[in-house]
């Protein structure tokens, strides 16, 4: 997506939602961080708002230091994608793939130095130095993901985003990759942002968990607290769907089955985004106002009208 497409998408999305807010209710249905923008929309009207926003975002994108900020952001934050086959360039050798960011960010001065570093990285992720000359299609899925991990950590980032990094792999390979993540974290001391639908894996790997629904965090806290004491109705429904590997307990497991499907993220419902599916929705409140995330206990945050601030 180009900068222009992103800009158009963001502005059009705001206009669509703000028009719906004007027609169906007040600005209480908006999250706090969007209320100021909505006031501007109300004041200017859709056409003028559109041209103002376009000008503002275009100016931001042209700002001289944005390029520098983007570079330092990329240096500190790397990502491992779900499918290593499509995230690795099939026309580049593993050596070229791993040395590219090292040379780009000036971590190595010469190609030889960068290749030496890439060889060390391959050994750390469980591959061999001679793999540097091979192409991605010559590896298995698990090995390809190891290459993607080596590329991500090659510039020593502070945060690594793991976007469903094991969902395309066999269960036995999944376990190896997760253990590799944990070992690398100990040696490099970076933070992981682990995105997954596999709640067992989330519980195993995370120290803190944030549950999202339609692009917003609905519950957040320490992992054991969220798994042992879920408060938001959506978190309760998610956790009730996790099978328990003990037939006796599993037979007694009560499921909270939600009605309906997930609405489109570009046309989210008014008020609490979850209200059309929530068994405890309060009419006249949940469909009108947006619940902000509040701290209900130390390090436990929930966005729901059923709970009160601690
Ligand atoms: S705010 Fe209302 S609709 Fe949303 S989760 Fe809580 S009870 Fe359900």
pLDDT (0 to 100) of residue 3: 62
pLDDT at 306: 93
Q: What CA–CA distance (Å, rounded) separates 29 from 40?
A: 16
CB of 304 sitting under 6 A from ligand 1: yes
Residues 229/301, Cβ–Cβ less than 8 Å: no
Residues shown for the chain: 310
Nearest CA to ligand 1 atom 7: 281
Residues of the chain where predicted confidence (pLDDT) is lower than 70? 1-7, 25-26, 60-67, 309-310
pLDDT at 132: 97
Mutation pick for ligand 1 pocket among 31, 217, 232, 233 (CB with most ligand atoms within 8 Å): 233
**Nearest-atom index, ligand 1, CA of 273:** 4
Substitution candidate for ligand 1 out of 211, 278, 284, 301 with most atoms within 8 A of CB: 278
Query: Under the phi-then-psi rule, with left for phi > 0, alpha for psi from -120 to 50, and beta for the rest, what region is 44?
Result: alpha
pLDDT at 62: 66
147 is written with which tokens? 């290459």
Q: Is the CB of 233 under 6 A from ligand 1?
A: yes
- Give the pLDDT of residue 304: 96
% the chain with pLDDT above 90:
54
The pLDDT assigned to 50 comes to 81
Tokens of 29: 């249905």
pLDDT of residue 54: 78
How many other C-beta atoms are found inside a 10 Å radius of the C-beta of residue 198?
Answer: 15
Residue 274 CB–ligand 1 contact under 6 Å: yes
Any ligand 1 atom below 6 A from CB of 226: no
pLDDT of 65: 64
Helices (H), the chain: 3-24, 32-44, 46-62, 65-76, 84-87, 94-104, 111-124, 141-153, 171-188, 199-205, 223-228, 233-240, 247-252
């Amino acid at each position: 997506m180009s900068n222009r497409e992103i800009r158009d998408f963001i502005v059009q999305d705001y206009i669509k939602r703000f028009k719906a807010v004007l027609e169906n209710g007040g600005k209480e249905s908006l999250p706090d961080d969007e209320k100021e923008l909505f006031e501007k929309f109300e004041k200017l009207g859709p056409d003028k708002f559109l041209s103002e926003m376009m000008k503002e975002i275009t100016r931001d994108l042209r700002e001289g230091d944005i390029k520098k900020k983007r570079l330092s952001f990329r240096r500190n934050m790397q990502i491992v994608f779900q499918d290593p086959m499509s995230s690795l360039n099939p026309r580049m050798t593993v050596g070229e793939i791993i040395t590219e960011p090292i040379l780009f960010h000036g971590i190595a001065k010469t190609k030889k130095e960068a290749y030496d570093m890439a060889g060390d990285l391959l050994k750390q992720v469980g591959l061999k130095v001679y793999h540097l000359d091979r192409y991605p299609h010559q590896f298995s899925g698990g090995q390809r993901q190891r290459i993607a991990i080596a590329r991500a950590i090659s510039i020593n980032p502070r945060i690594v985003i793991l976007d469903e990094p094991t969902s395309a792999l066999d269960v036995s390979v999944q376990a190896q990759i997760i253990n590799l993540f944990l070992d690398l974290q100990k040696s490099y001391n970076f933070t992981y942002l682990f995105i997954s639908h596999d709640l067992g894996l989330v519980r195993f790997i995370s120290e803190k968990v944030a549950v999202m629904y339609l692009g917003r965090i609905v519950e957040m806290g320490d992992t054991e607290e969220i798994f042992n004491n879920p408060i938001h109705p959506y978190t309760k429904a998610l956790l009730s769907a996790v099978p328990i590997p003990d037939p006796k307990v599993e037979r007694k497991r009560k499921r909270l089955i939600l009605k309906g499907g997930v609405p489109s993220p570009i046309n989210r419902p008014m008020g609490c985004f979850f209200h059309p599916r929530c068994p405890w929705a309060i009419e006249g409140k949940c469909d009108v106002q947006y619940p902000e995330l509040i701290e209900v206990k130390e390090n436990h945050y929930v966005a729901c009208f059923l709970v009160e601030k601690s």
